[in-house]
Amino acid sequence: MPERRTVALVTLGCARNEVDSEELAGRLEADGWLLVDDAADADVAVVNTCGFVEAAKKDSVDALLEANDLKGHGRTQAVVAVGCMAERYGKELQDALPEADAVLGFDDYANITDRLQTILSGGHHASHLPRDRRKLLPLTPVERQAAAAEVALPGHGAPEDLPEGVAPASGPRTLRKRLDDNPVASIKLASGCDRRCSFCAIPAFRGSFISRRPSDVLHEAQWLAEQGVSEVVLVSENNTSYGKDLGDIRLLETLLSEIAAVEGIKRVRVSYLQPAEMRPGLIDVMTGTPGVVPYFDLSFQHSAPAVLRRMRRFGNTEQFLELLGTIRGKAPEAGARSNFIVGFPGETEEDFAELERFITEAGLDAIGVFGYSDEDGTEAATYDGKLPEDVVADRLAKLSRLAEELTAQRAEQRIGSEVEVLVESVEDGVVEGRAAHQAPETDGLTTLLGADDAKVGEFYRARVVGTEGVDLVAEALSGALGAGE
Per DSSP bridges, beta strands 459-468 and 418-427 are antiparallel
Query: In this prediction, what percent of the chain has a pLDDT beyond 90?
Result: 73
Structural domain of 317: 144-160+167-413
218 and 88 share one domain:
no
> For residue 158, what pLDDT is reported?
62
Mean pLDDT of 237-265: 96
Kindly state whether residue 25 falls inside one of the protein's structural domains. Answer: yes
How much is the average pLDDT of 335-355? 98
Same domain, 215 and 335: yes
pLDDT band at 162 (very low <50, low <70, confident <90, very high): low
CATH number at 57 reads 3.40.50.12160
State the sign of the Cα–Cα–Cα–Cα dihedral 159, 163, 164, 170: negative
Residue 118: inside a domain: yes
Query: Does residue 482 lie within any of the structural domains?
Result: no
**Residue 151 domain-assigned?**
yes
The answer to whether residue 165 scores a pLDDT higher than 50 is no
pTM of the model: 0.93
- Are 262 and 374 in a shared domain? yes
Does 481 map to a domain?
no
Does residue 218 share a domain with residue 90?
no
The confidence score (pLDDT) of residue 349 equals 98
Residue 170 CB neighbours (<10 A) = 7
Return d(Cα 378, Cα 51) in angstroms, integer. Answer: 13
Asked whether residue 405 falls in the same domain as residue 463, the answer is: no
Task: Report the candidate in 360, 337, 362, 363 with the shortest Cα–Cα distance to residue 441.
Answer: 337
Closest CA to 396 of 340, 443, 350, 444: 340
User: Does residue 17 surpass a pLDDT of 80?
Assistant: yes
- How confident is the model over 407-426, as pLDDT tens digits? 999 999 999 999 999 999 99
For residue 34, what pLDDT band results from cuts at 50, 70 and 90?
A: very high
List, for residues 303-333, the tens digit of each pLDDT value: 999 999 999 999 999 999 999 999 999 999 9
Compute the CA torsion angle 164, 169, 172, 173 (nearest 10 deg).
Answer: -20
CATH number at residue 440: 2.40.50.140
pLDDT at position 172 over 60: no
How is the beta sheet containing 184-188 ordered, strand by strand? 184-188, 231-235, 267-270
Last residue of a domain, one of 413, 435, 465: 413
* Mean pLDDT calculated for residue range 150-160: 78
Can you give the CATH number for the domain in which 398 is found? 3.80.30.20
Same domain, residue pair 96 and 109: yes
Residue 79 DSSP symbol: E
Q: Within this chain, do residues 284 and 395 fall inside the same structural domain, yes or no?
A: yes
Assign 481 a pLDDT band (cuts: 50, 70, 90). Answer: confident
Indicate if 44 and 113 belong to the same structural domain: yes
- Who's near 367: CB < 8 A, 6+ residues apart? 337, 338, 339, 340, 359, 403, 406, 407
Residue with more model confidence, 252 or 93: 252
Whether residue 290 lies inside any domain: the answer is yes
Residue 103 confidence (pLDDT) above 80: yes
Q: Within this chain, do residues 89 and 229 fall inside the same structural domain, yes or no?
A: no
Q: What is the mean pLDDT of residues 24-35?
A: 91
Q: Is residue 305 part of a domain?
A: yes
- Range name among 22-31, 70-79, 198-207, 287-296 with the lowest pLDDT average: 70-79
> Is a pLDDT exceeding 80 seen at residue 160?
no
Are 323 and 467 found together in one domain?
A: no
Residue 355 lies in a domain: yes
Q: Please tell me the distance from the alpha carbon of residue 276 to that of residue 152, in angstroms, as a whole number.
A: 29
Mean pLDDT of 446-474: 95
Distance (Å, whole) CA 410 – CA 366: 9
Has residue 460 got a pLDDT over 60?
A: yes
**Which residue positions form the known binding site for [4Fe-4S] cluster?**
14, 50, 84, 193, 197, 200
What is the total count of domains within the chain? 3
Say yes or no to pLDDT of 173 above 70.
no
Closest CA to 50 of 86, 8, 7: 86
Provide the annotated binding site: 14, 50, 84, 193, 197, 200
**CA–CA dist 202, 86 (Å, integer):** 13
Among 173, 207, 213, 223, which Cα is nearest to 189's?
213
Question: What pLDDT shows up at residue 168?
Answer: 42
Q: Please say which residue of 413, 430, 445 terminates a domain.
A: 413
75 and 119 inside one domain: yes
User: Could you tell me if 203 and 296 lie in one domain?
Assistant: yes
User: What amino acid occupies position 308?
Assistant: L
